[in-house]
Amino acid sequence: MPPLRTVGWVNVRDGRLLAVRTTGKDRFFMPGGKVEPGESDAEALVREIHEELGVRLDPTSVRPAFVAEAPGHGLGGRVVRMHCMYAEPVPGSPEPAPNAEIAELAWLTPADAHRVPPAGQIVLDRLAGVLSA
């Protein structure tokens, strides 16, 4: 089975990475989600972040950061290939808040690696230089 293509928003503030926990899940994930057929990565990121957090991202600010690939949490061994991207909210957009299936937000550091799935651990490692110890 091919890797599941997803997008994740890299939003670092005050040395911490924004993560979300979906209702009924025990781990925190990068905000974002699956890329729908015919959708670009940037379009998927803008759509998912608005659905999950109520934040309107500026599509012109979306830029690639890196790819994190690892077995997906709760996916029976299927690999997730998460295209992590930076993007800025449009002026006047609300602060991130749980919406739709999101139960909780958290601002994580590398010390929180035990709270995220394998792809999230890769993200925390990649961002270790800009995250608080």
| pLDDT tens digits along 21-60 | 999 999 999 999 999 999 999 999 999 999 999 999 999 9
Identify the pLDDT of residue 72: 86
Question: Residue 73: is its pLDDT beyond 90?
Answer: no
What is the CATH topology of the domain spanning 2-130?
A: Nucleoside Triphosphate Pyrophosphohydrolase (3.90.79)
Question: In percent, how much of the chain has pLDDT > 90?
Answer: 91
Query: In angstroms, rounded to a whole number, what is the distance separating the alpha carbons of residues 76 and 87?
Result: 31
- Is pLDDT at 133 greater than 90 in this prediction? no
Please, which pLDDT band fits residue 61 given cuts at 50, 70 and 90? very high
14 near 35, Cβ under 8 Å? no
Tokens of 91: 């002026």
Residue located via tokens 């994580």: 108
Contact criterion met (CB below 8 Å) for 98 and 104: yes
State the alpha helices, DSSP H only, in the chain.
Answer: 41-53, 118-126
Encode pLDDT of 74-99 as tens digits.
Answer: 778 899 999 999 999 999 999 999 99
Return phi, psi of residue 91, to 5°: -55, 135
Per-residue pLDDT, averaged over 7-12, amounts to: 98
- Token pair 């299927």 is found at 78
Average pLDDT over residues 104-119: 96
Strand, coil or helix: what is 61? helix
Give domain limits for the chain: 2-130
CA 67 to chain CA centroid, nearest Å: 11
What is the identity of the amino acid at 43? E
